[in-house]
Amino acid sequence: MLRKLIASGVFTLFLMGALACGGGDSEEQSLAESDIASEATSQSAGIQIAPALGGDAAAVPDVSASSGDKFGGKLRVLGGDPPTLDPALVSDTSSARIVLELFSGLVRLDNDLQIVPDLAETWVVTEGGTVYTFTIKDGAQYSDGTPVTASDFKYAMERAANPDTESTTAELYLADIVGVMEIIDGNALAASGIEVLDDKTLKITIDAPKAYFLAKLTYPTAFALMKSNVESGGQTWTDNPIGSGPFVLEEYRIGERMILARNENYYDRNAYLDTVEINLAGGVAMAMYEADEIDLTGVGLADLDRVQDPSNAINRDLVSVPPGFSTSYLGFNIEETPFNDVKFRQALAHSIDKELIAEQVFAGLVLPAEGVLPPLFPVFNEDLVSLDFDPDKARALLAESSYSTLTDRDKRIVITTQGTGGSPSLSIEVMADMWSQNLGVNVEIQQVEFATYLQDLYRNRLQAFFGGWEADYPDPQDWIDILFHSESPRNDGNYSNPEVDRLVEQARTEQDVLLRTQMYQDAEQMIVDDVAWLPVWWDTQGLALIKQRVQDYNFLPMTIEIFKDVWIQE
């Protein structure tokens, strides 16, 4: 879904699909559950760079009737409280996972990560790729039976852009639309590039032909909203949201549980499940799975041997989970000392033995990350030159930097991560120890609650931070441009390189796939050389346990709605 910030602590199984929602438990839980949520489909290696201009309006989802014995049953999962259920405010994967089940957009990503119709029946792209005209499906309706109209999309997008909404994602995903920036800047209330031609027809005009624009509409900021529901509910309207997704919010008790129920008025084939029950109270996932309290879980390091033992009954529930499109990293605010010195950042990078961390901390369940883009992702660069472990080079770079001694640094160095108490992630502690051993650079590790972490990150309050990013759509623009262009709202480290800006700006409208690929790869190499990020690890194939009665639960490399196709075999 979307743009996702991956929390680095416990990755709750269901809420991750590489979206993650943070916690503060053991490294073992973090590992396993992140692996689960980020499974790649077997088709992922064939994903094309940038969805085709205009997408595929002919790729209508299969809505054929299914045998009645698939309907019914409850799926039980372990999760965490989402920071928001407002589509305009979604900026993390835990929120996105729920919002994608409750609301719908014009288009969506299917299980093969291709753009297909959602509430739009068809669309036509004209004016050289700058005008998109969508026709809303007959029968598109909200969960209360109210028809979805073109005006609902205009309202939702303009509301997201309105400064009063305080969306941190509207500029990222809607600013290509003519007139949206005027709303964001507080100079207008409506966007000239969003036109309602009639109840069933919506016309969107963007500022230039961009191969990835249609994919941006799969992000929640562009989802249809019922104006009367939003405005009558005020600040708490999401307590009783009326959406158009496959599920409705039946119950939500913060810190206890959330129940999603089948939307009987869904425009497409109804979900098979009666309900999805999300346990928000926490607990030891493996123990809950074995007590038959939840239906799926990741496999922690402590349980690897026994679950892989064919003589153990639980082995029959074991499934393999391929890697997802996500990268875990250390980020630096390069406007703050000592991270404003590139040689200091390079010294830190060369002093980290990622291979050792991958093998000793994660038992080989992660892959040392060399760059920003993960393997199998479009334009992944196998020839990227990474900053490998080299303590001698690290010490030489530190000596050449402006902060070769503690006196020069003149302030404490704090790495902030998400957590709710207990010990920080072992991997972060190991990296801190490597800096101390190899460079004499000491850091403090600070844990904060996830929502607070997001707020501080978005306001550039953090000196250094540990987190992760998962693709919102299968295009490198979602990484290289959104995260590292100097004027991007999600450039959380204040990184600025004029040549990177030039390349990503040119790539925005470049229609030649090979040239566009080269631009992103060149920009990524500069980002790695500058250590705008310190990539730490990528997912590898993981393991999960899932009850045999649960059918068609798809693990995907990105966050999309998945519960509609799950069914229980009693």
Q: For residue 215, is it within any domain?
A: yes
Task: Tell me the pLDDT of the chain averaged across its residues.
Answer: 87
Same domain, yes or no, for 196 and 161?
yes
Give the C-alpha separation, 482 to 163, whole Å: 20
Output the pLDDT for position 424. Answer: 63
Range of the domain at 169: 4-252+541-568
pLDDT category, 321, cuts 50, 70, 90?
A: confident
Give the C-alpha separation, 200 to 179, whole Å: 22
Task: Report how many domains make up the chain.
Answer: 2
366 neighbors 372 (Cβ within 8 angstroms) = no
The whole-model pTM stands at 0.84
Same domain, yes or no, for 333 and 423?
yes
Same domain, yes or no, for 80 and 101?
yes
Same domain, yes or no, for 138 and 72?
yes
Same domain, yes or no, for 490 and 555?
no
> Which residues lie closer than 8 Å to 321 by C-beta, 6 or more apart?
35, 36, 38, 39, 541, 542, 543, 544, 555
What are the φ and ψ backbone dihedral angles of 410, each rounded to 5 degrees?
A: 45, 20
Give the C-alpha separation, 506 to 484, whole Å: 14
Same domain, yes or no, for 65 and 201?
yes
Output the pLDDT for position 454. Answer: 86
> Which residues lie closer than 8 Å to 182 by C-beta, 6 or more apart?
188, 191
Output the pLDDT for position 279. Answer: 95
Same domain, yes or no, for 498 and 562?
no
370 neighbors 362 (Cβ within 8 angstroms) = no
Same domain, yes or no, for 239 and 123?
yes
pLDDT category, 43, cuts 50, 70, 90?
A: very low
23 neighbors 7 (Cβ within 8 angstroms) = yes
368 neighbors 570 (Cβ within 8 angstroms) = no
Same domain, yes or no, for 503 and 554?
no
Same domain, yes or no, for 357 and 247?
no
Same domain, yes or no, for 90 and 163?
yes
User: What stretches of 459-563 show up as alpha helix (H) in DSSP?
Assistant: 482-484, 498-509, 513-530
> Which residues lie closer than 8 Å to 228 by C-beta, 6 or more apart?
none
Output the pLDDT for position 559. Answer: 86
Q: What value, to the nearest 5°, has the Cα angle with vertex 76 and ends 72 and 78?
A: 160
Phi-psi region of 100 (alpha: psi -120 to 50; beta: other; left: phi over 0): alpha
Give the C-alpha separation, 239 to 398, whole Å: 52
Radius of gyration of the chain (CA): 23
To which residue do tokens 């026994």 refer?
306
Give the C-alpha separation, 257 to 241, whole Å: 17
* Residues counted in the chain: 570
pLDDT digits (tens, 9 = 90+) for 474-522: 899 999 999 999 999 999 999 999 999 999 999 999 989 999 999 999 9
Residue 383 maps to which CATH number? 3.10.105.10
